Structure 1
């Protein structure tokens, strides 16, 4: 199945069993000293065992003073041993191992101890990072060569040179960052001098048969004087002469809204960068890799079958399901847990250094715990009654069944999926609805007993006689009671998204969080004039950075008016009376949609029943407190893992 995707390929002396690449995504799984950890080894080993053709180890620093903590480093000989353990594990699991050589420029700022290098003076608020000296440039070039030698000694099958995302090589190449006036700036030839020197240094320090990949951005979005695709193509031809074999075509940078293309959220079209990669492949004649929201085997296979590129990056697809490749090749596509582009764990979790030690995944709470979370069969099979069939309840049911328990699900509605289904009703978010539907189908195939449109009470407990109970009944929207609210038709945002009601005419949405923005999107897309009223200084406070960029761009394109720091005072015939910094005004509208948050559904009666009958119980997800879906799913997983 998926013949094109699972066709072998040979690059120099390296043979890959298929065309799937696990890209070099930052994990923060290295330790404080940037050493390889057992956690990182287990993470890569799981994906190699899952059938991936090539694992590329992430953003490995080549220069010690500029190496941030918890990022992988290959900048000293002392790191070789740890990397050898990692490559041995990947090889033993049946995969091939690559390493991405990296100097992060301003990206190392997350570690205050790391030295920052930039091609030109760069101001940051109260201070300016000075441009690199020629001596520092030459030092970094030598570091790339030395890191390449260590990589070969550590057993890597190939190397990737990172020349994108305004890391140091890209920053030199792009006129949007490089404003030098010496031999390393100005003309295209001068701007290309540093990255080409790095490539030559790498090539000179690795075996002839070892392939060299290069990650490069197709062009610079939102960046004045940035790279054009024509310049990128010209540079790729020069890189080929310098020793690069394969182009890994990415997009985006970390200082403009183009960061949405680095870790593209659900709002960005699947495979959005493929045609760019195809053009570069055609004009350079080089082996080329497509990157960007390729999250299904069908899409990946179609891209390859159409001869657009030679390989595909499937990163978050394998975060969500480390067995992705095996399942796809064996035709078990209905068992695949698909990435939905939520960015909650892979990007937001990566950036949340205070609360998350390393990345995670909404769809896979095992991520980063592959070694420590041993999902052993239950020593004593228990009957577990799960009240609520949302994502948290389904996650718990699946894992309980896998471990040998007997889960029974009671759902008050006529379908599984809860608010994930509602979220999937918003424009461009059908993948979330499909994910909930697919997980529900897996519940059915596993033979898990599900009862719909039933409220759990004493009689049901007496009938089921569960050993334990999981309360996962979610949360419900909060309504408001403003003076004069009877003057206008008022709707709940969730009901609008679910298609239970249809506001008429112009609409005021009260609440500018995720749900408010999504219902505004849905209504404006249908042609309604929409205004959002939000009490806080900004809308989208519960959105991650990249999703917020995409959603706000959509609001602008739909001409949705947003009023912030606005308190709703009353409802009048003309619309809603609001107050902004002491001044009152009326926002005219025909209908009102309320999206001011949610509160946990009442579960005191269930708790009382459990305590009366001495049934151990666990409250998870939004039933405990309304939060992100990732938190709810993680709680369902952990309860089921520990029972």
Structure 2
């Protein structure tokens, strides 16, 4: 199946079995000194065994003084040995691997002890970072060459050169960041001098038949005087002459809202960058790799079939399911666990200092590939799962796969819970499909699901299970203010699920994730005048950085107003009253939608009956404490591992 995608390809002396690349993505799994950890090896090998054609290491520092701790590095000979273990493991598993050589420029600031190198003077908070000297430029160029030499010695099959995302080579290339008045600034040819010198240094230190792949932005986003696609095409032709064999066409940068294209969330269309790759391929005649939310086999195959690219990157698609490639090739499309672009575990997890390494909403086993997390039980048990949200269905499926007998009871008339409701918001259809996929998986496994049947003491006594999992979810929080029970007041969940229809001038109370998405839904589907009222000093405060960029841009484009630092005090006839800095203010409101959060559903009856009957009761997800789906699914895995 998908013969175009799974057709082999030769890059110089490298033969690849298919057209799928697992790209360089930060994991926080590297050793602090830059060595490859066993955790990274296990993580990568799982994707090799899953059928991927080419695995790239995550970005790998080439210059010691500017190498941030906790990132892979290959700036010293002492690091070669761990890279050898990495390449040997990949090869022993039947794969091919490349190393992505990198100088991070401003990204090095993630480590306060690392030197920050910038193409031109750059204002950074209160300080100005001075531009890199010509002498230091030569030092970094030599570092790229030496890193390439070490990469060959370590056994890599190809080399990647990162010339995008505002890292140092890209920062030199773009006039948006480079206003130097020496030989490295001014014209495109001058600005291209540093990255071209790096390319030549790499090429000089690797075999003639070893492919050199360059990652480059298709054009600059949100940059004044930034690179156009015409500039990039001219540069790629220069790079081709300098020794680059293939182009990895990315997009985005880390210092503007263009970050949304670097790690594109669910808000960005699938394959949004493919046409750029197609044009660059056509006008350069080079082997070209398409990147950007390519997370279904059908889309990936069509890109190859239509000649828009020679290969495709499937990154987060393989985070969500390490068996993505094998399942696609075998036509097991319903079994693929698809990435939904939530960014919660991969990007938000990477930037959160409290998270040890990246994870995935749909795959909590990410980073735990060597753990015997879901071992077969020594004793087959009957397990009753209360609640058919994604947490309940996930734990039910995991327990069934372990060999237990599982039955699920759900109080409402549908499965999916709040995950299904969230999927009704604008731009989130993939989340809706994911919610539905949990039910389909449960059906494939033969799990009984009883709808419109709440779990109570009588039901537990009737079923007499060996263990119970309480996953009954949460309910909206109520604010005890005058007018809360008026006929013109609705819950955000009822609005998103189509059970209630706001009208006239509409005010949404609550500017968190649910509130802003509900406001967007109302504007898009009912075209009402919508105002968000939030008691904190900003809206969308609980969104990750990249999703927040997208949502805030959408609110602005849709003319949805936001009143912040405003606490609801009462709901009147045609208005609401808010307290702002001790003063009462009034906002016109024909209808009011409450989106102020949720609290765990009461599960005392379930818990007490289990205690009475000496049945172990496990509580997961929102039933423990209202949070996000990523928590529910992770706890489902933890509980499944215990039973």
Same fold (TM over 0.5): yes
Q: Mark the CA change 1:387 to 1:210 in structure 2 (over 3 Å): closer, same or farther.
A: same
Deviations 1:622-642 (A, max 9, x none): 111111111111001111012
Tell me what 1:482 maps to. Answer: 481
Shift of 1:26: 0.8
Alignment of 1:173 onto 2:173? yes
In 2, the alpha carbon distance for the partners of 1:593 and 1:543 equals: 20
Tell me what 1:512 maps to. Answer: 511
Alignment of 1:383 onto 2:386? no
Q: Mark the CA change 1:500 to 1:430 in structure 2 (over 3 Å): closer, same or farther.
A: same
Aligned residue runs from structure 1 range 14-413, under 5 A: 14-353=14-353, 355-413=354-412
In 1, the alpha carbon distance for the partners of 2:403 and 2:378 equals: 9
Tell me what 1:568 maps to. Answer: 568
Tell me what 1:533 maps to. Answer: 533
Tell me what 1:499 maps to. Answer: 498
Shift of 1:126: 2.2
In 2, the alpha carbon distance for the partners of 1:496 and 1:151 equals: 56
Shift of 1:485: 4.3
Contact 1:50-1:323 at 8 Å conserved across structures = yes
Aligned residues: 642
In 1, the alpha carbon distance for the partners of 2:373 and 2:456 equals: 35
In 2, the alpha carbon distance for the partners of 1:608 and 1:583 equals: 47
In 1, the alpha carbon distance for the partners of 2:397 and 2:503 equals: 42
Shift of 1:481: 3.2
Alignment of 1:640 onto 2:636? no
In 1, the alpha carbon distance for the partners of 2:178 and 2:372 equals: 47
In 2, the alpha carbon distance for the partners of 1:450 and 1:162 equals: 49
In 1, the alpha carbon distance for the partners of 2:224 and 2:599 equals: 45
In 1, the alpha carbon distance for the partners of 2:480 and 2:373 equals: 50
Contact 1:345-1:361 at 8 Å conserved across structures = yes
Deviations 1:252-277 (A, max 9, x none): 00000000001100000110000011
Contact 2:457-2:605 at 8 Å conserved across structures = no
Alignment of 1:544 onto 2:505? no
In 2, the alpha carbon distance for the partners of 1:208 and 1:64 equals: 27
In 2, the alpha carbon distance for the partners of 1:642 and 1:468 equals: 11
Deviations 1:585-622 (A, max 9, x none): 21112100000000000011111011100111111101
Shift of 1:579: 2.5
In 1, the alpha carbon distance for the partners of 2:98 and 2:327 equals: 23
Contact 1:485-1:572 at 8 Å conserved across structures = no
In 2, the alpha carbon distance for the partners of 1:488 and 1:113 equals: 59
Contact 2:266-2:428 at 8 Å conserved across structures = yes
In 2, the alpha carbon distance for the partners of 1:584 and 1:478 equals: 23
Contact 1:426-1:518 at 8 Å conserved across structures = yes
In 2, the alpha carbon distance for the partners of 1:578 and 1:314 equals: 48
Q: Which runs of 5+ in 2 are unaligned?
A: none
What secondary structure is seen at the aligned counterpart in 2 of 1:569?
strand
Aligned residue runs from structure 1 range 435-450, under 5 A: 435-450=434-449
Tell me what 1:473 maps to. Answer: 472
In 2, the alpha carbon distance for the partners of 1:210 and 1:242 equals: 14
State the Cα RMSD in Å: 1.1
Shift of 1:463: 2.5
What secondary structure is seen at the aligned counterpart in 1 of 2:453?
coil
Contact 2:219-2:228 at 8 Å conserved across structures = yes
In 1, the alpha carbon distance for the partners of 2:626 and 2:249 equals: 39
Shift of 1:450: 1.5
